[in-house]
Structure 1
Amino acid sequence: METPAIASLAPNPNARQVAMPLGMFVFTLLYGGMTVLAGVLAFKQVQLWPTQLAVESGIFPFLLLVVISSTLSQLYGREAAKRIVWWGFLPLGLSALLMQLVLTLPASSEMIAFRPEDFAAFERVHHSTWRVWMAGPASYITSLLLNIWIFDRLRGSGDGEGTLGLMVRGAVASALSQAVDSVIFITLAFYGEFDITDLMIGQVLAKVVLSLVLVPFLITGGVRAARWLDARKAA
């Protein structure tokens, strides 16, 4: 006879099994991580050598968000991709709240005594996050929903399954949506703090170039990876 404690841990035969493709599950986990990382990396501006143009480093995880959302739209439909984009606000919001909590809590006496430079740098950088945290969601929701919409509309009446068609759709949707994202994010996050001209031009240029050169291959690779994961689960 099972004890009450063990019986309570036994599987409920009446529990409803939720079927979720393995590819969608894995890519959703990656998506949540990239939403948080994009906001953190945005504080460093990287120079585009050999020019004086610059980009904020958050573009790298953000491009992966574009790739993931396009992959999900391709395999599981536009509405599924849109839901994941909206739910992306959850890890973004929780990370912002946790950051504010950490900034409010007092530092240890050992850190203040022996690592004052690290403490000062952490406080200086992250106390200015409010503009980035405000700019991020505005550019995030606008550009990613725009990316999904363009990507889906370009499918047209065909099946959109051909590799070349997939690459073209991914490149065009990413380039247009990321140009819009750059204008919104840079303006809201940094306008008034310094001259944003070089950063704006560099950001738009970098995102458009990466969208045309890199994103098409990442999307085709993402689609193949998700299908492989789904096949493994089915097997």
Structure 2
Amino acid sequence: MEPTQSTALAAPARTPVIPLGLFVAALLYGGMAVLAGFLAFKQVQLWPTTLAVEAGIFAFLLLVVISSTIAQLYGKELAQKIVWWGFLPLAFSIGLMTLVLALPVSPDMVAGRPGAIEAFELVHGQFWRVVASGPVAYLVSLLLNVWIFDRLRGSGETSTIGLMVRGAIASALSQAIDSVIFVTLAFYGEFDITGLLIGQVIAKVTLSLVLVPVLITLAVRLVGRLDARG
């Protein structure tokens, strides 16, 4: 018996089911993709050394962890899609910042917070250069990270040690390249970037070897548990 038109209209449309863990990971990924660019304006000193790094490194290492976790649990192709779609929140942030900078300043802000608008425009008025540099370094390094991470995966490899080693190697190599690209494009000509560049490479490689393996292991377990619950 053929369904009537009313029955067909009443039938609920089938929607794709997104695993809860993947959904949460994608949300965090988009947030970190935007936040990394804003944090990059501040250079911080790595205790106990005198090496300087741009603070966006912390958000960017989380991008590495999330993309590697997605590659581990859902495959390289999906991880690469996440990396490419990470441009979407970046594009929205660029558009909104451009709009905000173009809008007239409220007299109440000028009177009530002297110097605040100058500080805002001093930092975010140069936002275009960091944003223009970020996507280039972002795309090259994260796609490279996913590729290396996947290539190092043995047939049926599921051990925690193997996961940690792959994560460390892929992150260290990709983040060293990211540092060279980003620092050069974003800050060359503004000041002497030698110290910052050396600090970035050393810091990202060190943190990749020390923190990323542990964070990837924890992230894989957490996302897996969320999938089991969802």
1:179 corresponding residue in structure 2: 176
RMSD over aligned Cα atoms: 1.1
Q: Alignment partner for residue 39 of structure 2, among 34, 38, 41?
A: 41
The count of residues paired between Structure 1 and Structure 2 equals: 222
> 1:84 is matched by which residue type in structure 2?
I
Which structure 1 segments of 5+ residues have no match? 1-10
Is the Cα contact below 8 Å between 1:52 and 1:198 reproduced in 2? no
Cα gap change, 1:121/1:22 in structure 2, threshold over 3 Å: closer, same or farther? Answer: same
2:129 corresponding residue in structure 1: 131
1:227 corresponding residue in structure 2: 224
What CA distance in whole angstroms lies between the structure 2 residues aligned with 1:50 and 1:25? 38
> 2:183 is matched by which residue type in structure 1?
I
Q: Alignment partner for residue 66 of structure 1, among 55, 64, 67?
A: 64
Deviation at 1:116, TM superposition (A): 2.5
Cα gap change, 1:14/1:128 in structure 2, threshold over 3 Å: closer, same or farther? Answer: same
1:100 corresponding residue in structure 2: 98
Output aligned runs, 1:19-38, within 5 Å: 19-38=17-36
Question: Secondary structure of 2:156's match?
Answer: coil
TM-score (norm 2): 0.94
Cα gap change, 1:113/1:50 in structure 2, threshold over 3 Å: closer, same or farther? Answer: same
> 2:147 is matched by which residue type in structure 1?
W
Range that drifts further, 128-137 or 14-23:
14-23
What CA distance in whole angstroms lies between the structure 2 residues aligned with 1:160 and 1:197? 40
Deviation at 1:12, TM superposition (A): 6.0
> 1:161 is matched by which residue type in structure 2?
T
Deviation at 1:53, TM superposition (A): 1.5
Question: Secondary structure of 1:43's match?
Answer: coil
What CA distance in whole angstroms lies between the structure 2 residues aligned with 1:38 and 1:152? 24
Quote the sequence identity (%). Answer: 68
Cα gap change, 1:12/1:125 in structure 2, threshold over 3 Å: closer, same or farther? Answer: farther
Which structure 2 segments of 5+ residues have no match? 1-8
Output aligned runs, 1:1-235, within 5 Å: 13-156=11-154, 158-233=155-230
Deviation at 1:90, TM superposition (A): 0.2
Deviation at 1:52, TM superposition (A): 2.7
Q: What are the superposed Cα offsets for residues 70-127 of structure 1, whole Å, 9 maximum, x if unpaired?
A: 0000000000000010000000010010000000011111001121211110011000
Question: Which aligned runs of 4 or more in structure 1 are off by greater than 3 angstroms?
Answer: none
TM-score (norm 1): 0.92
Range that drifts further, 47-56 or 15-24:
47-56
> 2:220 is matched by which residue type in structure 1?
V
What CA distance in whole angstroms lies between the structure 2 residues aligned with 1:92 and 1:127? 17
What CA distance in whole angstroms lies between the structure 1 residues aligned with 2:127 and 2:10? 45
